[in-house]
Structure 1
Amino acid sequence: MGREPLLGESLAMIAASLIAAVLSWRFVERPFRGRSGLLPRPALFAAAALAALVLTGIGLHGKQTGGWLGRYPPELVDIFAAGQDRDPRQGECESVRADTPGCIYGEADAPPVVALLGDSHAAVYAMVLGELAQGRGESVLSLTMPICPPALGWEGEHLSWREDCGRFQRLALDRIIATPSIQTEVLAAWYRIYPFDDPNGELAVAIEKAIERLVSAGKRVALVYPVPQPDADVPTTLAEAVLDGRDPNLIRQPLEQFHADQSGVFAMLDGLDRHPSLIRIYPHQVLCPGSDCLFYRDGRVLYYDDNHLSVTGAALLRPLLAPLFDGAAQQGEER
């Protein structure tokens, strides 16, 4: 049905399953079992094996087609597919290794002019930055690690499934600074999941240290501010709206709520003001036209889960990111 059944529907299905069980036992199982069965034992096993193969084939086909998406209207198929609208190199380039060499996006043979550093929220910008670089015959170096902010000397809780975040930060900064072709460094993260409101300011200090190292090495630093965070899986929420007959375009977040949710993160990032040359990029200026932040636009889903921009969503930020390759970045006059 494409939705959770109502209580009455659930009770009816339970009753129907019990009736089906009794009927199958009486008219299928009993006639086939025992010496008086309708089929001899070899034929019975062969028939069971054939039935198992048929059912397995049906199950595999359902998995391959994502649950027979063809039964839904095209609008809903596109929404379901949004969960896969992510960087195909994500597994390779969003590394869990501290000594990762990173990934090159754009013109593979050209030295990188822009570097990207941060966690999975930074990684979503790799493709659009690479496309911008490709158009200029240039490249981008992406150095990202899950749940590891672009800082120096702060890594938070140890996670057994990835290597040391602090070591990754040091090696990544060393790599960027040692690459003379890199002119601009882009820092981005899902700051909301870190202790950004720590009264001791340890995270802010660690980010400041990273910026200090980069600026001292002659690099420009671009700080990407948060994106709206819906706190629910966007493709699923949109699909449920369509199945319920609601307009998916109305699934939005008020701009006021976004500012309220991210006020602490904005305050922390705004506090990194020791370097007036910092470039500040505000994605919500594009993602929140008017008084609402969009998760669905022109029939395309802007997030692939509950917090990461999809490739489609990140591509909308091209006007904000393109100037990073021109020696002057666009900084919003209003937040």
Structure 2
Amino acid sequence: MGFLSNFAYWREAGYFDTASHGKWLLHTWSLSVEWQFYIVYPLIILATRKLFGASMTKMLLVIGALVSFALCMYMSNRSPSAAFYLLPTRAWEMLAGGIVFLFPMQLKDTNKKVASTFGLVLIALSILMLDASDVWPGWLALIPVAGTALLILAADQTSVVTNNKLSASIGKASYSIYLWHWPLVVLLGYYGVSDSAAAIAAGIAASILLGYASLYFVETPSQKLNIKTAQRPHLAGYALVVLVIGACASTVFVKQGFESRVSKIAAQADIERTNKNPASKTCFIESGVDSPKCIFGKKDAPVSVIVMGDSHSDAVVSAVVEAAGPEKSTLYLGYISCMTIPGMKLQGMPSSYQCGDFVRKEIEELKTTLPGVPLVVINRSSVYVFGHNEYQDRTRGPLMYFNEPGVLDATYKEDFRKRYVSAMCEIAKNRPVYVTKPIPEMIKNVPTTIARNEVRFGKSQDITLPLSEYKSRNQFVVSVMEDAAKSCGIQLLDPEPELCDSQLCYGSINGKPLYWDDNHMSESGNKKLVPIFQSIWN
């Protein structure tokens, strides 16, 4: 209602993250950006036209579009979420249409066909070639925007693709179809059928049907409403409906929902969904090479242990702190999606991502810093080699690479093995090194699945993973860790006895989640690992 949803979602997960697929109104970010543009754009035109005249106004709009595009390319690498959601990096896309209107060109019929065809080809390429692994929007957004601009410029009335009743009809309903499509995507995910071709086809059909229903029963009648002649009671009724809906939504937002409407198990699962490391925002870095070097535990005590790793280390560092005891302090060196191997790179990450340089820098500093203090390495190791197990990666080959993205073959595995063993042995030259074996990845979002099963079916079932699957997925990286242990005496910490029995690994126990998503342990769940970390001092 306030055209600010893009700011809210900017602060949360990325558009293509699995968490985003549970947000029913995520798509309203674009409506907010558009309305922000349509509010500001006319004011800018009026002001510049009055101050500088029509010709200069046109040139300033072109300059503004170029500046916005340059900012888009820069921010897409530095801060992808900001580039995706915010108006300054998106304005050029909408200005492109205005520029085509302000600088009209009279094309011959043959040139119209060429421009129209080329525009359609660019749009088709953007659909077929671009995916979630691409840095977006960035320069790649120029492909569909240029294609659309060419279609507008061509205005080819003889095109069999754009100038027909079906295209015109879909165009009229497109806004309403857009409003319906994302809630239906979320609904498919809610019922666990988002990978079903039949369900996807039904979702597309439902989006179209509901879009047309909205067009003819909501959009069209509202456009014909004559405010001057409309009866005041009708207008008051519309206003009352909006106020009631707004008040209810605000109440739900302020109270963060109503816990009493669900069972204790569902409410408990919802709590665990946000039970993450509270220090992540300040201690867990996502870019650059400089760590804040946060100290956990007793701040004025000498550092008794160092924890280094990726988001799995961020998820369980508090368990290390508890294992150390109240009189000790823990130094934390965490970096997002960062395997502890110098020089590593990750597909699809912006240029601000410098994990490989970060690791190299920290290993170099550790040669002279806090000698003899044990270091615990915690990584989601298998994901860098084999990809995610909770969804299908859109990248080709392993996520992690060193020189150029490659293929998962014997050569890659051997290179990975040598680099990992070398890194661990380098750290182990002046301190004990403890490497935590992989934490089970549960595939399903544990708290969300438990809560949904409880609400939908009135029953909860613990989320589990067959032990055989856990061992199979991690067999290679565990063998690499064992090689490092043989080569330079590092010690391995095994979470399996704490999280698995002879057949299953558990994502929850008696309905209480141990994870806040599908692979990151919650602040209460990670305490299951305290015993393995206590072995550092025993």
TM-score, with length taken from structure 1: 0.80
1:171 maps onto 2:171 in alignment: no
- Structure 1 vs Structure 2 CA RMSD: 3.5
- CA drift at 1:18: 6.3
Q: Distance in 1 between matches of 2:458 and 2:280?
A: 33
5 Å-filtered alignment, 1:1-335, equals 4=191, 37-39=230-232, 44=235, 51-96=241-286, 97-135=288-326, 137-157=327-347, 159-160=349-350, 162-180=352-370, 183-195=373-385, 199-200=410-411, 201-217=414-430, 219-245=431-457, 247-275=459-487, 277-324=489-536, 326=537, 328=538
SS of equivalent to 1:195? helix
Letter of the 2:428 counterpart: V
C-alpha contact 1:107 1:134 (8 A) present in aligned 2: no
Match of 1:331 in 2: none
C-alpha contact 2:283 2:292 (8 A) present in aligned 1: no
Match of 1:332 in 2: none
- CA drift at 1:142: 0.8
Q: Distance in 2 between matches of 1:82 and 1:233?
A: 11
Q: Unaligned regions of 5+ residues in structure 2, if any?
A: 1-186, 194-198, 387-407
SS of equivalent to 1:311? coil
- CA drift at 1:86: 0.7
C-alpha contact 2:377 2:434 (8 A) present in aligned 1: yes
- CA drift at 1:54: 3.6
Letter of the 2:410 counterpart: P
- CA drift at 1:313: 1.8
- CA drift at 1:287: 0.3
SS of equivalent to 2:524? helix
Give CA-to-partner distance per residue, 1:213-234, whole Å, 9 cap, x none. 22212x0000100111121211
Q: Alignment length, in residue pairs?
A: 312
Q: Compared with structure 1, are the counterparts of its residues 120 and 114 closer, same or farther at alpha carbon in structure 2 (3 Å cutoff)?
A: same
C-alpha contact 1:286 1:317 (8 A) present in aligned 2: yes
- CA drift at 1:49: 5.3
C-alpha contact 1:158 1:164 (8 A) present in aligned 2: no
Letter of the 1:199 counterpart: A
SS of equivalent to 2:453? helix
Q: Distance in 2 between matches of 1:212 and 1:103?
A: 25
Letter of the 2:353 counterpart: E
Q: Distance in 1 between matches of 2:242 and 2:227?
A: 21
Q: Distance in 2 between matches of 1:247 and 1:290?
A: 25
Give CA-to-partner distance per residue, 1:26-57, whole Å, 9 cap, x none. 9x999x956664428xx94x775565344223
Letter of the 1:39 counterpart: R
Q: Distance in 2 between matches of 1:112 and 1:181?
A: 11
Q: Unaligned regions of 5+ residues in structure 1, if any?
A: 329-335
Q: Distance in 1 between matches of 2:260 and 2:458?
A: 20
Give CA-to-partner distance per residue, 1:254-299, whole Å, 9 cap, x none. 2122112222222222222334632111111100034211111144
Letter of the 1:103 counterpart: C
- CA drift at 1:22: 6.3
- CA drift at 1:323: 2.2
C-alpha contact 2:298 2:329 (8 A) present in aligned 1: yes
Q: Compared with structure 1, are the counterparts of its residues 279 and 39 closer, same or farther at alpha carbon in structure 2 (3 Å cutoff)?
A: same
Letter of the 1:91 counterpart: K
Letter of the 2:497 counterpart: Q
Q: Distance in 2 between matches of 1:215 and 1:104?
A: 22
Q: Distance in 1 between matches of 2:267 and 2:281?
A: 25
- CA drift at 1:145: 0.7
- The answer to which structure has the higher helix fraction is 2
- CA drift at 1:131: 2.6
**Percentage of matched positions with identical amino acids:** 22
SS of equivalent to 2:307? strand
Q: Distance in 2 between matches of 1:299 and 1:243?
A: 13
- CA drift at 1:99: 1.2
SS of equivalent to 2:535? helix
- CA drift at 1:67: 4.2
- CA drift at 1:239: 2.0
